[in-house]
Structure formats: structure tokens, C-alpha cells
Amino acid sequence: MTQEEMILQTEKFVFRELNGEASGHDWWHIYRVTKITKTIAQQENANLFICEMGALLHDIADEKLNSNEAEGIEKVREWLIHVNVDETSISSIIEIISTMSFKGGGGPPMKTLEGKIVQDADRLDAMGAIGIARTFAFSGAKNQIIHDPNIKPREHVTKEEYRTGKTTAINHFYEKLLKLKELMNTDYGKKLAETKHQYMEEYLEVFFKEWEGE
């Protein structure tokens, strides 16, 4: 099986797994992240196969969509073996997927250029107009309210607190989205993040005016 065939089969697999998922981690999120990944990878002269496979599979292993992270990682490994990806590439792809998640922002830096690229692409899809839409979709899926001025954004939370603690959709901007611009790894990712960050700041300005009935 060629790399192109492996990618095509993986696209079909991920579509089957995530199509219709309602928290903002659906197939179309994968589609966008993969496109952004390919754009950055070409700019940064990275290994396009590793980048594309990492982008396609990154949410298959996410603990939000599995009973635990280890189960998700094993599902990814089994798929990569199924489509005959070589062991060196499997290790590279698994390393990206197992370390790229935000999880409160306290994780170690990505070890490889390919990992940095996929992480940037995933974070870029959490910003701007799409990021705003995904935030409200995710909050609704988690039964979180839109906003409550009495519930303050959380700082320095643990991974578990970040995943399960009480918060709001608007607080998520301050707990994650507005932090992402400064966490970009690649020069091209930083460039793309600037406009998206500005849009989110402008959105919040309008939101708070309307919240007060202005």
C-alpha cells in the first residue's frame, strides 16, 4: 500500500469514527486541521506523510472521545498497523498524538517539527470564527452555560480540573483560546494566529456590550 493509499484509507476510517460528533471534534474539524497542517508543513519543509497522518488521527485517541487515553492510543496503533505503516512512522505519529493536546496548557513542548506543525494546526482551528463556534458547541455538549459573571476563569488548573471542573463558554476564551497565539510553534502558525486572535478579542468586546443590553 502506498502512502497515498494509506492516507485515503485513514480518511475513510476517521470519517466513519467521527462523522456527526457534536462537541466540535467531528470529521470537519479533522478536515480543517489536516488542510492547515499540509499548508504549514509545506512552508516548513516537514515530513508531509507524518504530518498528514498525525492530523487525521489526532482526535481518534483523544480521551474526550474514549474511556481513557491509553485505549485511544491503542486504537490508533492498531489502525496504523492495519494499513501497513512502518514502525518508525508509527512511533512518530503516536508521539505527536499522545503529546499535542492542550490539557490546561501545561504540557511539555513538542519534540519534532511535525509535532509542532500538527499542534499549531489543531490550535488554529480552536481560534477565530470557527473556534468561537466550536467553543459553544463543546460547552453545550458538556451542559455548560454561556456566561455567568460570578464564575471566574480558572488559572493554573490541573489536567483533571481543566477537563471536568465547572466553567462557562466565555471563560473558555480566557482559559484557552486567548492563550493560543503565544503558544504557536512555527513562524507560519504564528502569522495565521494573529488575525484569528484579533477576531476573538473583537467578538468578546461585542459580546459583553450585548450582555449588558447595550
pLDDT digits (tens, 9 = 90+) for 142-153: 899 999 999 999
pTM over 0.95: no
CA–CA distance, 74 with 99 (Å, rounded to integer): 15
What pLDDT shows up at residue 22?
A: 85
- Residue ranges of the chain with per-residue pLDDT less than 50: 104
Task: Output the average pLDDT for the chain.
Answer: 91
What does the pLDDT read at residue 26? 93
C-alpha distances (whole Å) from 68 to each of 7, 86, 93, 138 are: 25, 25, 19, 19
Tell me the C-alpha to C-alpha distance, in Å, between residue 87 and each of 9, 20, 90, 93.
Answer: 18, 31, 5, 10
Question: Using one digit for the tens of pLDDT, what is the confidence trace for 57-105?
Answer: 999 987 666 777 788 899 999 999 999 999 999 999 999 998 887 664 5
